[in-house]
Chain A
């Protein structure tokens, strides 16, 4: 496959995801996984999970996962193409709609669209968590770390970095 061909595929895939990413980048993780792991076979399950882990552990927006995926298959240019494709179409939309949105304040259809879309967004985020857990966890100890992280986030106010750090230490000790 020619390098330009890969870049074109990245651009088209992420431009499409850009416009269906209701709820942000993490909501389309299942589609990224389908494209990179299942459909193209460019990454293994654990490579995909590792890149997502890097994006979570580094400072910055969640959408960095897109740049990392592009970089892994097509280098720096791949990272730039994937990031711009993921942010461009939705960016044009927000730029355009932002100029007229205030006119629709108080319109009942606007509230209905928001009320209707919100629970779907939540379902998609949870589906992303499910896909990531399946990709990352190869045994009971991995699932135990995932479950413990969920429990700690829900019951304490610990900063997420502490949880990632603790999990990294457990992993380095060979316990995950």
Chain B
């Protein structure tokens, strides 16, 4: 992966062992409530100096551009860059293992106590707020498109078709993605 440069102030890649990858991504996972990308950047760039800032931005833009959970993609890319396929698997396991175990324990508590009125009430509150967090994230991402009616229109179409109209996402993407990319191509500078 020659996209990644190796300035002198970065760590020696040989120091990025399987154990370092596992515990590094474990720490990223457990630091982040509701989104871990900011923690990933902090640990990978600033604290451990595995990648330069520019390299991390490049990696992240690729991981956001390709399908799949973004932070999972980052773990697989970074693990693979330093330690090949095994490194990718180890980094992924570090990222997902502990959070999944914690979530399942919470899930088991929910199954046991989910019928209690006070727990039902608590979940009614949390799930309403969780929906609000997702909507707010979407609105923040939408803000840069305010002055760009064509992009705004494509976003609105995707929202309307998949949300209120409940059309299958595969069908919506198959219809809108080629159109939106073609328009972006024709309007390129």
Cross-chain contact A146 with B132 (CB below 8 angstroms): yes
**Bound complex: CA A119 to CA B141 (Å):** 9
Instruction: Give the residues in chain A near B35, CB-CB below 8 Å.
Output: 62, 160
Q: Is A6 an interface residue (CB 8 A)?
A: no
**Bound complex: CA A93 to CA B189 (Å):** 29
Pick from B3, B99, B169: contact of A28, CB under 8 Å: B169
Q: Is B11 an interface residue (CB 8 A)?
A: no
Q: What's the tally of chain B residues with a CB closer than 8 Å to chain A?
A: 98
Cross-chain contact B134 with A128 (CB below 8 angstroms): yes
Instruction: Give the residues in chain B near A61, CB-CB below 8 Å.
Output: 29, 32, 36, 69, 71-72, 95-96, 99
Instruction: Give the residues in chain B near A147, CB-CB below 8 Å.
Output: 132
Cross-chain contact B133 with A120 (CB below 8 angstroms): no
CB distance from A138 to the nearest CB of B (A): 7
Cross-chain contact B62 with A64 (CB below 8 angstroms): no
Cross-chain contact B164 with A130 (CB below 8 angstroms): yes
* Chain B residues proximal to chain A, CB less than 8 Å: 1-3, 29-36, 58-59, 61-73, 76-77, 80-81, 85, 88, 92, 95-96, 98-100, 102-104, 106-107, 110, 114, 117-119, 121-142, 145, 151-152, 154-164, 166, 168-170, 173, 176-177, 180-185, 188
Most chain A Cβ neighbours within 10 Å, of B61, B154, B183: B154
Cross-chain contact B33 with A22 (CB below 8 angstroms): no
CB distance from B44 to the nearest CB of A (A): 15
Instruction: Give the residues in chain B near A24, CB-CB below 8 Å.
Output: 64, 68-70
Cross-chain contact A117 with B181 (CB below 8 angstroms): yes
